Structure 1
Amino acid sequence: MTDVLKYDFCTMHIHDTYLIVEMNDGIHVTPDHNKILLNIADTYYKNKPFVYLTHRVNSYSVDPAIYAETSKIKNLIGFAVISGDFKKKSNAEIEKLFFNKTFKIFDTIEDAVVWAKSITTKK
């Protein structure tokens, strides 16, 4: 399965056990954006584990409070930031402190997908 969903703040690529999200340039991600993620979890991943991969190709900001809400999604078992940019990876290290599930940082989508598939098949 691969569906592409476009919102005013991002594009989501839905796969069987993970989704890849590209946020739009210049937005500020807040806990209100979690309503969309909750809907995606209920629609595409009901009763099965999945991983959220954020491909940081654009410049945007994230309210760290979002991670407290995102952590409450029971079947979300992992979160990864994908970027080769030092500053974006440094920001992700700080964001990691606010998330109470597995949080990884990767340079490439390919590495992140391999990891996502590996942890979802273990569950």
Structure 2
Amino acid sequence: MFRYYDIGHAEVFIFDDFLIKQVREGAIVDQEETEEFKIILKEHFNEKNMAYISNRVFSYSVNPLVYKEAEKIPNLVAIAVIPSNEKTRASAKYESQFYDRPFGIFDNLSEAIEWVQKIIQRENSELSVENA
């Protein structure tokens, strides 16, 4: 079961521990978009570890400084990107330099989901040990 949002420039699919976002062709992801993202996160993942999966089906621009804002979200434990071509893969590699938490680039959605679930499970285990 998942929740679906159409937020104009993107579609967001919310699952238990992660979300998948598909930004529309030609959009620009910047600070304003990050604020919208935070609202969705607070509603669905308040104080619960989660991951973000970017399914890059279309071509769009990302201001890499949004990753510094994303680092301020304490329960966002990983970002996964699924590029649709080599140009998008190169952009994702560049963007990864701006994010100091786990950042993975994958060939398909299944690989990305498997990876983020491992990261979330590890983070939740570490949190359980700290709280024991």
TM-score, normalised to structure 1, is 0.96
Residues 17-26 or 34-43, more deviating: 34-43
Residues 83-92 or 69-78, more deviating: 83-92
1:94 aligns with 94
Aligned-partner Cα distance in 2 for 1:94–1:41: 25
1:120 aligns with 120
Question: 5 Å matches for 1:1-123?
Answer: 1-122=1-122, 123=124
Higher helix share: 2
Tell me if the contact between 2:22 and 2:57 (Cα under 8 Å) persists in the aligned partners.
Answer: yes
Give structure 1 stretches of 5+ with no counterpart. none
| Number of residue pairs matched by the alignment | 123
The CA RMSD measured in Å over matched residues stands at 0.9
How far is the alpha carbon of 1:84 from its aligned partner?
Answer: 4.1
Q: SS of 2:119's equivalent?
A: helix
Q: SS of 2:36's equivalent?
A: helix
Q: SS of 2:58's equivalent?
A: coil
Q: Which protein shows a greater Rg?
A: 2
How far is the alpha carbon of 1:8 from its aligned partner?
Answer: 0.9
Counterpart amino acid of residue 53 in structure 1: I
Counterpart amino acid of residue 111 in structure 1: E
Give structure 2 stretches of 5+ with no counterpart. 125-132
What per-residue deviation string (whole Å, max 9, x for no partner) do you get for residues 41-85 of structure 1? 111011110000000000001011111111110000000111241
